[in-house]
């Protein structure tokens, strides 16, 4: 699924609305405006701290604002989080920009912030998600988003929030069964199968492959000092599988 023409500005504004509602404040104030070439979005200019090494910043594991951004990206399904989108300011706060390719219904999370993948969400993230979830179930926030996103995109956002709250882990990178060499020829198998059932079949196969992969990973980790175990990886795997079952991944 791509992003329809003419919708990117609305997604930029919707990202600000979500960031504000959760209390993350990772997106600068963003509004819709009419311009000489039609409607578009305007965003507050951020004078970022040019002394900060963005590559080093993107790799940190002890930066609360960066971790907030990683959770925010999971919620809005950010398909384009690059290092250059990080905007640290001199007071220590961290903003992010370029959210025009967010809110897809299928799982499109593409980011450089994978250092917390599979790890338990911190308390501050859960509190932010609860605030956001409460507002998503009220008419006010949904009405504001309805002029920016489709009803199915809003529903998919709500499902992502609920799934994060249920499993309480950072998601893993999306792995597609179609990328596996054994997937060649599956098109014939899937002939006549509905999109939803096809997603369930594909992601069930991926889950089995992931569990096998975790056995190998566990053997490697046994001889290392990395604090990663199947107990933390499994919920993150289930996060993606549950999104598939909910119809968010196609």
Q: What is the pLDDT of residues 47-69, one digit of tens each?
A: 999 999 999 999 999 999 999 99
Specify whether 180 is located in the same domain as 151.
no
When the pLDDT of each residue in the chain is averaged and rounded to a whole number, the result is 81
Specify whether 158 is located in the same domain as 189.
no
**CA distance linking residue 229 with residue 214, whole number of Å:** 9
Specify whether 220 is located in the same domain as 96.
no
pTM of the predicted structure, to 2 decimals = 0.74
Compute and round to an integer the Cα radius of gyration of the chain: 19
Specify whether 250 is located in the same domain as 217.
yes
Q: Is the pLDDT of residue 233 over 70?
A: no
CB-facing half-sphere around the CA of 87: CA atoms within 13 A: 14
Specify whether 74 is located in the same domain as 118.
yes
Specify whether 139 is located in the same domain as 246.
no
Specify whether 107 is located in the same domain as 212.
no
Angle at 172 between CA 12 and CA 232, to 5 degrees: 130
Mapping DSSP to helix (H, G, I), strand (E, B) and coil, where does residue 137 land? coil
Phi/psi for 174 (5° steps) reads -70, 130
Q: Is the pLDDT of residue 246 over 80?
A: no
Whether the CB-CB separation of 200 and 243 falls below 8 Å is answered with no
Where does a domain end: 149, 172, 195?
A: 172
Whether the CB-CB separation of 29 and 44 falls below 8 Å is answered with yes
Stretch 239-243: mean pLDDT, rounded? Answer: 58
Specify whether 19 is located in the same domain as 143.
yes
Specify whether 44 is located in the same domain as 138.
yes
pLDDT at 205: 56
Q: Could you tell me what percent of the chain has a pLDDT over 90?
A: 62
Domain carrying residue 224: 175-250
What is the pLDDT confidence band of residue 236, given thresholds at 50, 70 and 90? low
Q: Single out the residue of 136, 122, 67 nearest to residue 96, CA to CA.
A: 67
pLDDT at 211: 59
Specify whether 165 is located in the same domain as 184.
no
Specify whether 180 is located in the same domain as 88.
no
Taking every pair of Cα atoms in the chain, the longest distance, rounded to a whole number of angstroms, is 62
The pLDDT tens digits for 148-174 are: 999 999 999 999 999 999 999 999 887
What is the pLDDT confidence band of residue 2, given thresholds at 50, 70 and 90? confident
Give the residue, 28 or 38, on which the prediction is more confident.
28
Where does a domain end: 122, 149, 172?
A: 172
pLDDT at 175: 58
Stretch 102-110: mean pLDDT, rounded? Answer: 92
Give residues with Cβ within 8 angstroms of 216, minimum separation 6.
Answer: none
The two tokens of residue 95 are: 């903003």
Where does a domain end: 172, 201, 235?
A: 172
Mapping DSSP to helix (H, G, I), strand (E, B) and coil, where does residue 84 land? helix
The pLDDT tens digits for 129-152 are: 999 999 999 888 999 999 999 999
pLDDT at 5: 87
Output the CA torsion 156→160→166→168 (10° steps): 180
Which of 109-118, 170-179, 180-189, 241-250 is the least confident region? 180-189
Specify whether 236 is located in the same domain as 179.
yes
What domain count does the chain have? 2
The pLDDT tens digits for 72-105 are: 999 999 999 999 999 999 999 999 999 999 999 9
Whether the CB-CB separation of 109 and 171 falls below 8 Å is answered with yes
Whether the CB-CB separation of 112 and 81 falls below 8 Å is answered with yes
């Amino acid at each position: 699924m791509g992003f329809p023409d003419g919708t990117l500005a609305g997604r930029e504004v919707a990202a600000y609305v979500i960031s504000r509602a959760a209390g993350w404040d990772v997106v600068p104030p963003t509004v819709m405006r009419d311009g000489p070439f039609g409607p578009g979005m305007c965003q507050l200019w951020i004078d970022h701290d040019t002394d900060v090494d963005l590559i080093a910043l993107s790799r940190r594991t002890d930066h609360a604002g960066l971790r907030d951004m990683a959770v925010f990206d999971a919620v809005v399904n950010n398909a384009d989080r690059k290092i250059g989108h990080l905007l640290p300011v001199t007071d220590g706060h961290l903003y992010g920009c370029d959210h025009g390719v967010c809110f897809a219904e299928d799982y499109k999370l593409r980011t450089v912030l994978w250092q917390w993948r599979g790890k338990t969400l911190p308390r501050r993230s859960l509190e932010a998600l609860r605030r956001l979830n409460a507002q998503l179930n009220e008419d006010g926030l949904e009405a504001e988003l309805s002029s920016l996103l489709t009803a199915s995109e809003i529903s998919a956002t709500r499902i992502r929030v609920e799934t994060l709250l249920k499993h309480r882990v950072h998601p893993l990178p999306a792995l597609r069964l179609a990328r596996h060499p054994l997937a060649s020829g599956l098109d014939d198998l899937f002939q006549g199968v509905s999109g939803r059932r096809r997603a369930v079949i594909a992601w069930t196969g991926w889950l089995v492959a992931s569990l096998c992969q975790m056995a190998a990973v566990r053997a490697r980790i046994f001889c290392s000092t990395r604090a990663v175990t199947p107990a933390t990886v499994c919920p993150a795997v289930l996060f993606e599988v549950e999104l598939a079952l909910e119809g968010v991944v196609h």
